[in-house]
Amino acid sequence: MPITVSLVPRDRFFKTNIDIPEGWNFIFLEKFNEEDIIKACQGADFLLALSGFSPAQISAHVIKNIPSIRMIQMDGVGYDTVDADAAAKHLLPVANNAGQNAGSVAELVIGIIVSLQRHVLVSDREIKSGNYTQLRGQLIGTGLMEICDAKLGLVGLGAIGRKVAKVAGMLGAKLYYYDVYRAAENIEVELGVHYKPLDELLAESEIVSMHVPLTEQTRGMMGRREFSLMRSGTIFINTARGEVVDQAALAEFLENGHLGGAAIDTMSPEPPPPSHPLLNLSPTAQKKLLITPHLAGVTIGAFRRMLLNALNNMAGVAKGKAPEYVVNGVAAAR
């Protein structure tokens, strides 16, 4: 009987209509720190970890002290709450749910682009304040953009980046991408995307959308230098991780008017303190910023798909199969 320690709360299984596999023993930790995780994992087979908000990290200390765990399975796509390198040193695979919430994130990205291009939130606020005629004249006079023919630069072409490319391409966008691993030619042709070095992508795109995992290589990859390379009026979107963007630099380029707009689903830190630079913008800069609370990939449907995939992956390993969607290079379970 496999034993799984779950940092994912029990009610998420209920809300998504997911049943625990028959014969499995699940230990749910509702409140925990590193020592609680270590204690619960003694003799257990799997650790189902949180991709997003987590009271405690799966640190090198934790990994060293959970020798019976055969695989760490993430509940989502991100794995920055786990020291994946430390896990690799202990031959412990870390697996995520690549692609399971790609459609959910892509939906939000497209909705965000339209909201910023058409000034939806500003329009709603101004009309409710009685400024209908003035606003309409101003927006028509300035001109409203659309996705069709817009130059969309995707930083990262994993499952989410590809889904965004597919939808935006259907709407007529001109698609560029940068990734540390260039896609195969047939994938580029299928998606209609054109590879560009990062600096060129930033300089040529009218919309830049982030779709990279958080690693030591991507931490802070968008800073003052990168924002300065963007053309005036660029729309910037981050639904990846807050830490890939220098928060103060983003605030600066909203304040100085260089960016035409920005939308962020993730911040650093989360939740943001009252002193966070993006929460202290001038009224003019505030109108160009849209913030959502890290919800791009956490719809009910996405949660269901990710939990089912996680359970299937652990079940496969329990039957002797190799783990799937491994992110730290360990091909076999312990």
- Mind listing the pLDDT tens digit for each residue in 187-236? 999 999 999 999 999 999 999 999 999 989 999 999 999 999 999 999 99
**186 & 110 share domain:** yes
Confidence at 40, pLDDT banded by 50, 70, 90: very high
Quote the pLDDT of residue 88: 97
Residue 327 lies in a domain: no
Do 94 and 36 belong together in one domain? yes
pTM: 0.87
Nearest to 300 by CA among 53, 102, 16: 16
Residues 250 and 312 in one domain: no
- Tell me if 332 is assigned to some domain: no
Pair (161, 106) in one structural domain: yes
Across the range 139-146, mean pLDDT stands at 94
Q: Residue holding tokens 């802070």?
A: 220
Please return the burial class of 297, using the count of CB atoms within 10 Å of its CB with bins 0-12, 13-18 and 19+.
buried
Q: Does residue 109 share a domain with residue 91?
A: no
Residue 170: phi and psi, rounded to 5, are -65, -30
155 with 228, same domain: the answer is yes
pLDDT in tens, 153-197: 999 999 999 999 999 999 999 999 999 999 999 999 999 999 999
Mean pLDDT of the chain: 96
**Residue 115 belongs to domain spanning:** 102-291
Q: Which amino acid is at 204?
A: E
Asked whether residue 330 is assigned to any structural domain, the reply reads no
Examine the domain organization and report whether 256 and 308 are in the same domain. Answer: no
Q: What is the CATH number of the domain that holds 241?
A: 3.40.50.720
pLDDT at 1: 81
When pLDDT is cut at 50, 70 and 90, the band that residue 30 belongs to is confident
Whether residues 91 and 128 share a domain: the answer is no
| 3-class DSSP state of 278 | helix
